Amino acid sequence: EKNITLDRATRIELSCRLDKYSHLKRLQVTWKRGNETIRHMNKTENSWSIQLRILDYSNLGGYSCTLKGEEEISAMFHLQVPKIEGKEKPIVSYEGDTAVMICKSFGYTPIAWTWYMTNGSEQIAINDSLLADKYVINRLSANVTHLKILKLTKEDDGVYWCEAAFELGKSKGKLQLRVLSLMVPLKPFLAIVAEVVILVTIVFLYEIYSKKKEKSAEDEKEFDQVEQL
């Protein structure tokens, strides 16, 4: 199986080559796209190839070559648009703070970027000119896009999509935003501070206690000595 990434209209040649089983006779090779058979095939000594013109999204997909002889062998080619990577782990931010989400395209330059917000099951495009004090979309470089969400609230929590538009189609990356209230980290913080204060107090109290014990022991000694005198 092979994955081939294409970002613009092009001509491409796919070929299937036979190395080992060349002793097999009566071979029938078919190139298919889905269930459709492709007619125009070039044949050389032990390879079969097709030439394709990829013009738009409909030309992409899975192409397979099948060799039917005594055994059936097939190979699969996946023609696809470049993949966009989002972030697997959620981005954590706080209410009232700013969140920055970044999407990158590796190697291929998209024509345009669009950001989507998920509302229930719908995907709503984010219009930064409409809500300029809430969303800021920046295209830092040709392959990188920035979404800045200001003044976060609990409602901003959820899944976001960054979509890159290529000549041949669109590709999406998923990002997740989690908005926490300030109370969330505050609880462990206060717990640890309390633990520190308790430990320090215990240490100091123990020291004062042991000093008092020593003092009273010394006083007793002095008292004994005085008595002896």
Partner 1 sequence: AFPKGVAIFFKEIQDFFGTSYSEIAWVSSIMLATTYGAGPISSILVNRYGSRPVVILGGLLCGIGMVSAAFCTSILQLYICVGFITGFGLALNLQPSVIIIGKYFLKRRPIANGLAMAGSPVMLCTLAPLNQFLFDNFGWRGSFLILGAILLNCCVAGALFRPIGAATASVKTQVAEEGKDALKEEVTKDAMEMSSPRNITMETKTEEEGGKGCCEKVNQYLDFSLFKHRGFLIYLIGNVLMFLGFFAPIVFLAPYAKHIGIDEYSAAFLLSILAIVDMIARPTTGIIANSKWVRPRIQYFFSFSIAFNGACHLLCPLASGYTGLVVYSIFFGLAFGMVCAMLFETLMDLVGAARFTSAVGLVTIAECCTILLGPPIGGTLIDTFGDYKYMFIKCGAVMVLAGTFLFIMNYYNYHALAKEEKERKAKEEDPKSVRTENEGRNNWNKETAQEGPELEPLREEREGLKKEVNGT
For residue 44, the tally of other CB atoms under 10 A from its CB is 9
Dist. CA 191–CA 194, nearest whole Å: 5
Does the protein bind partner 1 through residue 219 (CB under 8 A)? no
Query: How many residues touch partner 1 (CB under 8 A)?
Result: 26
Does the protein bind partner 1 through residue 24 (CB under 8 A)? no
Based on CB atoms, which residue is closest to partner 1, 112 or 203?
A: 203
Do 63 and 77 form a contact (C-beta atoms < 8 A)? Answer: yes
Pattern 61-100, binding to partner 1, x per CB under 8 A? Answer: ----------------------------x-xxxx--xx-x
200, burial (CB in 10 Å: exposed 0-12, middle 13-18, buried 19+): exposed
Dist. CA 68–CA 149, nearest whole Å: 57
Dist. CA 128–CA 148, nearest whole Å: 10
Does the protein bind partner 1 through residue 211 (CB under 8 A)? yes
Pattern 174-193, binding to partner 1, x per CB under 8 A? Answer: ------x---xxx-xxx-xx
| Interface residues toward partner 1, by CB under 8 A | 89, 91-94, 97-98, 100, 102, 180, 184-186, 188-190, 192-193, 196, 199-200, 203-204, 207, 211, 214
